[in-house]
Amino acid sequence: MNMITIPRTDWIDNGSSELSRTSISQLFEGDIPFIHLEEFATPDECEKLVLCAVKEGFSSYRGVEPIINRIGNTVFEYNSISRKEYFEKNQELVQIQNRIFEASFNPLTRFMNLLQSRLKKKVYIPKNSEEMSYYAGLIRRIEEGTLLHVDYAPGEQPEWEIATITGQLAWNLYLRISEEKSGKTHIFNRQWKSSDNSEKEGIYGYNRRVLRDAKEAVFSPSIGDIFIFNTRNFHYVEPAEGERVTFTSAIGQTRNDELILWS
């Protein structure tokens, strides 16, 4: 049985531009809407990563509308299929990821090292009970927007090891986006609770009724920047004009205050 704590409903700030123990714990607590890290990667690095990704080829999330393309694996898609298949599939997908990193740069290791050095916490990609690794670090194209949703393993993947986390964030590095209409991300000051499941619509969306009059934070990313936010908060992405490619994973806080990454 997983403990799902009572969600917070107030924000004290507009967001932080600093990655520190304080800002991360404010994000987990629901005190701030996001952390914005500018110039994590250069435009050249981002473009190189996208070019290598395009060479490997994207495929779409099973059953998701509007379509989202990606390279990598997700617990979301295997939750109702097979956990065993997810872990087996990871072995070949990690090789593809490594090929892309070797030909461009490795944002995953760079980000994990940054977390570790700023927060002085153990940061790792977890394994299952059979010592098989989770997959972390999708290259993703959300170009037609998303539905209003949350990403929260204790509520969505209760059978998986990652469901024992006490809070969940996502980091997105923006690799290729159009200047004019970048596909803004909207985050609401309203965290998921189990009774919200009655408002679920389709495979992952929620009716806007769940928002009531919750405050909204909106950001418009620039190439090379990272935004980190709490994905237990309802959020959605606007349709973009042209391409919108990101590098992303979830960040979970374990009960012994370590950080785990998966997708």
Ligand X SMILES: O=C(O)CCC(=O)C(=O)O
Q: Are 229 and 169 in contact (CB under 8 A)?
A: yes
Closest CA to 248 of 115, 92, 141, 124: 141
For the bound state, the minimum distance from the C-beta of residue 227 to ligand X, rounded and expressed in Å, comes to 7
Residue selected from 45, 143, 151, 156 as contacting Fe ion according to rule CB under 5 A? 151
- Longest alpha-carbon distance in the chain: 47
Site for ligand X in 142-181 (CB under 6 A): 142, 146, 151, 170, 172
For the bound state, the minimum distance from the C-beta of residue 174 to ligand X, rounded and expressed in Å, comes to 8
Alpha helices in the chain (DSSP H): 21-29, 43-56, 75-78, 83-103, 107-119, 153-156
| Token code pair at residue 221 | 């990313």
Confirm or reject binding of residue 37 to ligand X (CB under 6 A). no
**With CB cut-offs between 5 and 8 Å by kind, which of ligand X, Fe ion, none does residue 190 bind?**
none
Which residues are registered as beta bridge partners of 247? 139, 173
Please say whether the dihedral angle defined by the alpha carbons of residues 75, 81, 87 and 93, taken in this order, is positive or negative: negative
Shorter beta-carbon distance to Fe ion: residue 45 or 151 = 151
Shorter beta-carbon distance to ligand X: residue 185 or 189 = 185
Residue selected from 90, 189, 246, 263 as contacting ligand X according to rule CB under 6 A? 246
- Which residues are near Fe ion by CB under 5 A? 151
- Which residues are near ligand X by CB under 6 A? 142, 146, 151, 170, 172, 185, 231, 235, 237, 246, 248
